[in-house]
């Protein structure tokens, strides 16, 4: 049996879209939606919300039983890394709940189009391959490949990629992917050993469904539109 701790990180004070983690779609906040899908998957031993806000915890008190502790302010800054939060909550809840976990899963509330099916697929792939980590990713259209991107350096236009000047045709580009926030799975042992969120033996699950990772008001409106369509 594989024991997985699910962490739903929900820092308050977001700048791009204020309080984005408690923005509501169909009457449910984004952190509520994340908790509901996590519960529905039935793959997690425990589900916790990592936040610095008592107000945020009120949204999930009926959905998860182990989210009564606030994240320290020092781990709720805009420059706090994912690794710092993951390590802290892993250690804290292992001690509080007196349990040993094999994996930790991080579900960002800002990716509300995830489904329990996505999480089950991740779990099955992790179980089969015994990865140190597994991320969900979405394929990027080749016209947005980094080798075609440009940067502005004061008044000068430059290539973003060191091989940008060698670009010939779109057909010759390799496929590239972006993490989409649907799910991140990490081996407890690998986090402690390598102290990286992308260790060498990291797998992936390509999500072909429509996914929106919310950073702006426009993202949120698009997520609401797609969310209604998939019901």
Q: What does the DSSP assignment read for 30-44? A: HHHHHHHHHHHHT--
Domain spans in the chain, listed from the N-terminal domain onward:
4-139+176-225
In angstroms, what is the C-alpha Rg of the chain?
A: 19
* CA dist., res. 101 & res. 9, Å (int): 18
34 within 8 A of 112, measured Cβ to Cβ: yes
**d(C-alpha 127, C-alpha 168), whole Å:** 41
Please state the length of the chain.
231
Which CATH code of 3.90.79.10, 3.40.710.10, 3.90.1150.10, 3.90.550.10 fits the domain covering 4-139+176-225? 3.90.550.10
Name the residue with tokens 């402690």.
192
Do the Cβ atoms of 95 and 212 come closer than 8 Å? no
From CA 167, how far away is CA 173, in angstroms rounded? Answer: 8
Q: pLDDT tens digits for 66-96?
A: 777 899 999 999 899 999 999 999 999 999 9
177 in Cβ contact with 206 (< 8 Å)? yes
In order, the DSSP letters of 117-129 are HHHHHHHHHHHHH
**How many Å apart are CA 226 and CA 221, to the nearest integer?**
9
Local confidence band at 16 (pLDDT 50, 70, 90 cut-offs): confident
Number of neighbours of residue 128 by Cβ within 10 angstroms? 9
Q: What value does the mean pLDDT take over residues 104-124?
A: 97
Give the predicted TM-score (pTM) of the model. 0.92
Predicted confidence (pLDDT) per residue in 156-178, tens digit? 999 999 989 888 788 888 899 99
Q: DSSP character for 63?
A: T
pLDDT in tens, 137-155: 999 999 899 999 999 998 9
Pairing of strands 150-153, 46-50: unpaired
Burial category of 17 from C-beta neighbours within 10 Å (exposed 0-12, middle 13-18, buried 19 and up): middle
- Residue owning tokens 């597994």: 134
3-state helix, strand, coil in the chain (%, to 5): 35, 25, 40
pLDDT of residue 231: 59
Question: In the predicted model, what is the mean pLDDT of residues 5-25?
Answer: 91
């Amino acid at each position: 049996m594989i024991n997985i701790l699910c962490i739903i990180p929900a820092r308050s004070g977001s700048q791009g879209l204020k309080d984005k983690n408690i923005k509501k779609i169909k009457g449910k906040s984004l952190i509520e939606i994340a908790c509901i899908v996590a519960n529905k998957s039935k793959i997690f031993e425990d589900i916790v919300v990592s936040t610095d806000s008592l107000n945020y915890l009120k949204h999930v008190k009926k959905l998860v039983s182990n989210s009564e502790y606030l994240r320290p302010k020092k781990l709720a800054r805009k420059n706090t890394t994912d690794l710092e939060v993951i390590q802290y909550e892993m250690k804290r809840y292992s001690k509080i709940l007196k349990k040993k976990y094999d994996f930790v899963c991080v579900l960002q509330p800002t990716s509300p189009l995830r489904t329990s099916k996505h999480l089950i697929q991740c779990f099955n792939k992790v179980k089969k391959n015994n990865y140190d980590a597994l991320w969900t990713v979405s394929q990027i259209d080749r016209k947005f490949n980094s080798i075609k991107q440009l940067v502005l350096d004061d008044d000068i236009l430059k290539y973003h990629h060191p091989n940008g000047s060698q670009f010939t045709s779109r057909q010759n580009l390799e496929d590239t992917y972006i993490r989409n926030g649907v799910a991140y799975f990490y081996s407890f042992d690998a986090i402690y050993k390598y102290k990286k969120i992308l260790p060498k033996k990291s797998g992936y699950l390509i999500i072909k469904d429509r996914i929106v990772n919310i950073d702006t008001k426009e993202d949120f409106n698009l997520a609401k539109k797609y969310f209604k369509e998939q019901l």
